């Protein structure tokens, strides 16, 4: 398991529309069975299900999973506390998701800059 200080070292989210549960597992450093459990516990997580009940997560789902992971693993919230935090008024003020999105955009822009310099 990653230590709290390694949360910033999660991989960059690729510019895809849909992600499989295996891809999300790697992007968020959480095992697939934990993701399936979190779907039951957090109503905000609702991946698209296709043929054979295969789950396909979108970018906002991945960001939400990273936010849930940060609340549970880094900040020490319980499942109930994290659920309350995400569904309550504090979720509107919480900038964790926006910070992750900004970091992601900065990384992508830096990659574009490297390509342009070649």
pTM of the model: 0.70
* Structural domain of 39: 1-87
pLDDT band at residue 14, thresholds of 50, 70 and 90?
confident
Same domain, residue pair 80 and 93: no
What was the pLDDT predicted at 31?
Answer: 96
Same domain, residue pair 19 and 43: yes
pLDDT band at residue 117, thresholds of 50, 70 and 90?
confident
pLDDT band at residue 77, thresholds of 50, 70 and 90?
very high
The string of DSSP codes covering 47-76 is -EEEGGGEEEB-HHHHHHHHHHHIIIIIS-
Same domain, residue pair 55 and 94: no
Element (DSSP H or E) covering residue 102: helix 96-117
What was the pLDDT predicted at 89?
Answer: 55
- Residue 32 CB coordination number (10 Å): 14
């Amino acid at each position: 398991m990653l230590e709290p200080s390694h949360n910033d070292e999660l991989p960059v989210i690729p510019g895809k529309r849909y992600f499989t549960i295996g891809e999300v597992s790697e992007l968020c450093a959480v095992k697939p069975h934990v993701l399936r459990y979190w779907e039951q516990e957090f109503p905000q997580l609702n991946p698209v299900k296709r043929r054979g009940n295969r789950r396909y997560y979108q970018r906002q789902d991945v960001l939400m999973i990273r936010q849930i992971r940060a609340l549970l693993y880094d900040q020490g919230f319980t499942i109930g506390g994290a659920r309350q935090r995400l569904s309550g008024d504090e979720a509107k003020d919480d900038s964790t998701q926006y910070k992750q999105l900004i970091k992601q955009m900065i990384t992508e822009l830096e990659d574009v800059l490297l390509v342009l310099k070649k």
